[in-house]
């Protein structure tokens, strides 16, 4: 692996909200073309990590490089350019309620002036077809779609600009197992077709194994394990094993407020 | 005990200064995005229609009835001193200087300021604001700047309508109910209208429009915690806009009209 610049390199990343440490010295290299899955319980810092990489949250300390370029110390214009390399599928879709689906899908392309409004409708139809949706869906509004369709539209929006990097925040949350598998399949297809580097965060083990080449587990703001996604279910790490098998007893204790 | 009190006072003061600073920076950022491309004409037009055109009925009715009430109340008071002829002047002065801009502002704050806070707040708590950033679009430029501009332009237009209808309300009550001569009332009104009164009213309106949009955007943009957070943001936006509106109304009145 030496000599190849990681697509994303994170060093000693820290982030706290008040007295709560959310990220506590994260070090991570994601190599080009890799599908990387980060697992971890609710509140373990997975979403905060993604938002730090996207520049939506400013970390307290540490560095984030994208293609070898320092994201945190870049000029705002350069940060925008680096962010433009990333497509993101949000947990709840985050589709714009006030816009029809076709405008949601082509929003980024219109913002970058890579497409005219005149061509956007038909272009949206071809992207929607890539995620298994009929082009006529483009005329609907997000509130008229089912959860699974919203995820597909979110995926279509994320891949529309053919980004180098794709982020998936809990892509199967709230979906039935079959629809979850369909979305995972679409994600794998899209990532392969675009040749993108992907980071997915999830606590759905089936999804993690379907999407990921490599995986890591985040616990209390630290990466406690990293290895092939195929070995998630028998990692040999007691914490990972407890989490992936959903055991109540083990080294991970839930902090319950009484 | 005393130290606790001082500490609490200090914390409150610091909190207020911090909030004022954050609001000022937000306002400056929003204003700077109005003049820097790219411009989102479609967002501006839809917000302008919502703020201006769709607020017309409520502003028109408020102005019409308020003008009528001023005429009626003035008559009650002035009749004691046999100076009823001053009613037309009082109505036109009250409406153009104060009632037009203030009532239109308060109506728009309740209608549009709340809607802005609710819309942007919902976008915030459902990650739509973050999604904008990931799609090469500045949320300040796309969400805030067009709304500020729409507020600044729409309110003076609404106040022009409110001025006309407020005076019309006074005229209707004076002629129909109080028995004034239409010709005499109109002549008295035209003699009482002053350019400075109308101009200052419109300047006030532009400032009120800016304040209403600013509060709606600011509280919506910074809302947290789901539906409850959006509800709080909406209430705060309307309350803050209404108070600021009245405070700035006093300051501008003092600036332009105090002897």
Radius of gyration of the CA atoms of chain A, in A: 18
Distance from CA of B126 to the nearest CA of A (A): 6
| pLDDT of amino acid A1 | 47
Our CA-based measurement puts residue B18 at a distance from the nearest CA of chain A, in whole angstroms, of: 17
- Of B137, B148, B113, B131, residue with least CA distance to B30: B148
Separation of alpha carbons A244 and A227, rounded Å: 14
Q: What is the mean pLDDT of residues B159-186?
A: 95
The closest CB to that of B136, out of A91, A94, A112, belongs to: A112
pLDDT band at B209 (very low <50, low <70, confident <90, very high): very high
Q: Which pLDDT belongs to residue A39?
A: 93
Best CA proximity match to A157, nearest among A122, A179, A115, A128: A128
Query: Could you give the strand order of the β-sheet that contains A20-30, starting from the edge strand earlier in sequence?
Result: A20-30, A8-17, A61-66, A69-70
CB contacts < 8 A (A, B)? 49
Q: Which helix (H) or strand (E) holds A150?
A: helix A147-159
Residues 86-125 of B with CB under 8 A from A: 119, 122-123
Mean pLDDT of B135-146: 94
- Most distant CA atoms of chain A, gap in Å: 59
Helix (H) or strand (E) holding A23: strand A20-30
Alpha-carbon distance of B254 to B248, in angstroms, equals 10
**To probe the interface with A, which of B131, B139, B142, B224 has the most A CB atoms within 10 Å?**
B131
Calculate how close chain A gets to B128, using CA atoms only, in Å. 5
Which residue of B119, B126, B137 is in closest CB contact with A92? Answer: B126
Tell how strand A214-219 and strand A222-228 pair up: antiparallel
**Average pLDDT for residues B170-187, to the nearest whole number?**
94
* pLDDT confidence of residue B259: 65
Contact B127 A94 (CB under 8 A): yes
Q: How far is B221 from chain A (nearest CA, A)?
A: 14
**pLDDT score, position A258:** 45
**Residue numbers of B between 119 and 178 with CB closer than 8 Å to A:** 119, 122-123, 126-128, 130-131, 133-137
Predicted local distance difference test score (pLDDT) of residue B108? 96
Torsion sign over Cα A178, A179, A184, A188: positive
Quick one: DSSP state of residue A6? P
Judging contacts by C-beta atoms under 8 Å, the chain B residues touching residue A88 are 131, 134
- Please provide the DSSP assignment of chain B as one string: -HHHHHHHHHHHHHHHHHHHHHHHHHHHHHHHHHHSS---HHHHHHHHHHHTGGGHHHHHHHHHHHHHHHHHHHHHHHGGGT-GGGHHHHHHHHIIIIIHHHHHHHHHIIIIIHHHHHHHHHHHHTTHHHHHHHTT--HIIIIIHHHHHHHHHHHHHHHHHHHHHHHHHHHHIIIIIT---HHHHHHHHHHH--HHHHHHHHHHHHHHHHHHHHHHHHHHHT--SHHHHHHHHHHHHHHHHHHHHHHHHHHHHHHHH--
Smallest CA–CA distance, residue B204 to chain A, in Å, is 32
| H or E element that contains A10 | strand A8-17
pLDDT, averaged across chain B: 94
Closest of B54, B88, B52, B23 to residue B244, by C-alpha: B23
Q: What are phi and psi of B232, to 5 degrees?
A: -65, -45
Q: Per-residue pLDDT tens, chain A, 258 aa: give them.
A: 457 899 999 999 999 998 899 999 999 999 999 999 999 988 888 999 999 999 889 999 999 999 999 999 998 888 888 888 999 999 888 999 999 999 999 999 998 888 898 899 999 999 999 888 999 999 999 999 998 899 999 999 999 988 999 999 988 888 888 888 888 888 898 888 889 999 999 988 889 999 999 999 999 899 999 999 999 888 888 999 998 888 888 888 766 554
Read off the pLDDT of residues B8-37 as tens digits, 9 standing for 90 and up. Answer: 999 999 999 999 999 999 999 999 999 998
Q: Which two tokens stand for residue A39?
A: 């697992």
Place of tokens 């080294």: A251
Q: How many C-beta neighbours within 10 Å does residue B162 have?
A: 31
- Name residue A11's beta-bridge partners: A63
- The structural domains of chain B, with segments of one domain joined by +, span 40-257
Q: Which fold has domain A1-85+165-258?
A: Rossmann fold (3.40.50)
Which pLDDT value is given to residue A63?
95
pLDDT exceeds cutoff 60 at B258 = yes
Asked if this assembly's ipTM is beyond 0.90, the reply is no
Instruction: Give B89-137 pLDDT, tens digit per residue.
Output: 999 999 999 999 999 999 999 999 999 999 999 999 999 999 999 998 9
SS3 state of residue A75 = coil
Domain positions in chain A: 1-85+165-258, 94-162
Nearest to B134 among A88, A91, A92 (CB): A88
Separation in Å, CA B26 to CA A95, A119, B221: 25, 36, 10
Of A54, A96, A112, the CB nearest to B134: A54
Note the pLDDT of residue A2.
Answer: 56
> Which A positions 86-115 lie with beta carbon below 8 A of chain B?
86-88, 90-92, 94-98, 107-108, 111-112
Q: What is the distance between the alpha carbons of residues A183 and A132, in angstroms, rounded to a whole number? A: 10
For A28, the enclosing helix (H) or strand (E) is: strand A20-30
């Amino acid at each position: 692996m030496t000599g190849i610049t990681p697509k994303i390199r994170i060093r000693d990343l820290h982030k706290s909200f008040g007295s709560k440490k959310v990220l506590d010295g994260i070090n991570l290299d994601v190599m080009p073309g890799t599908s990387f899955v980060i697992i971890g319980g609710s509140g373990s810092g997975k979403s905060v990590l993604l938002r730090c990489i996207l520049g939506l949250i400013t970390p307290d300390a540490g560095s984030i490089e994208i293609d070898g370029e320092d994201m945190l110390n870049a000029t705002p214009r350069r940060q925008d350019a680096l962010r433009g390399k990333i497509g993101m599928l949000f947990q709840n879709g985050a589709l714009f309620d006030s816009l029809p689906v076709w405008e949601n899908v082509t929003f980024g392309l219109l913002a970058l002036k890579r497409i005219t409004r005149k061509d956007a409708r038909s272009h949206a139809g071809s992207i929607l077809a890539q995620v298994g949706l009929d082009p006529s869906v483009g005329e609907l509004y997000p509130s008229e779609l089912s959860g699974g369709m919203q995820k597909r539209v979110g995926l279509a929006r994320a891949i529309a600009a053919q980004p180098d990097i794709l982020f998936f925040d809990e892509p199967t949350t709230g979906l039935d197992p079959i629809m979850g598998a369909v979305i995972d399949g679409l994600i794998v297809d899209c990532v392969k077709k675009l040749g993108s580097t992907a980071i997915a965060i999830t606590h759905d083990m089936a999804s993690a194994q379907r999407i990921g080449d490599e995986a890591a587990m985040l616990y209390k703001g630290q990466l406690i394990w990293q290895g092939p996604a195929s070995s998630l279910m028998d990692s040999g790490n007691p914490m990972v094993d407890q989490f992936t098998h959903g055991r109540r007893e083990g080294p991970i204790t839930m902090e319950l407020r009484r | 005990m005393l130290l606790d009190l001082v500490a609490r006072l200090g914390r409150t003061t610091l909190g207020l200064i911090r909030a004022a600073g954050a609001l000022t920076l937000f306002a400056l950022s929003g204003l700077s995005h109005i003049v820097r491309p790219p411009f989102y004409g479609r967002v501006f037009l839809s917000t302008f229609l919502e703020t201006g055109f769709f607020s017309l009925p409520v502003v028109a009715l408020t102005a019409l009835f308020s003008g009528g009430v001023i005429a009626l109340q003035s008559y009650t008071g002035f009749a004691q001193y046999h100076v009823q002829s001053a009613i037309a002047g009082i109505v036109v002065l009250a409406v153009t200087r104060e009632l037009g801009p203030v009532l239109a502002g308060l109506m728009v704050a309740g209608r549009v300021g709340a809607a802005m806070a609710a819309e942007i707040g919902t976008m915030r708590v459902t990650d739509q604001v973050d999604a904008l950033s990931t799609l090469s679009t500045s949320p300040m430029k796309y969400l805030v700047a067009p709304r500020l501009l729409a507020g600044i332009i729409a309110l003076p237009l609404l106040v022009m309508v409110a001025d006309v209808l407020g005076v019309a309300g006074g005229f209707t009550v004076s002629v129909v109910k109080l028995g004034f001569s239409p010709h005499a009332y109109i002549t008295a009104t035209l003699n009482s209208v002053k350019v400075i009164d109308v101009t200052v009213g419109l300047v006030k309106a532009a400032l009120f429009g800016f304040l209403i949009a600013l509060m709606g955007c600011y509280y919506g943009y910074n809302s947290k915690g789901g539906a409850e957070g959006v509800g709080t943001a909406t209430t705060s936006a309307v309350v803050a806009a209404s108070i600021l509106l009245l405070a700035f109304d006093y300051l501008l009145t003092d600036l332009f009209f105090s002897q």
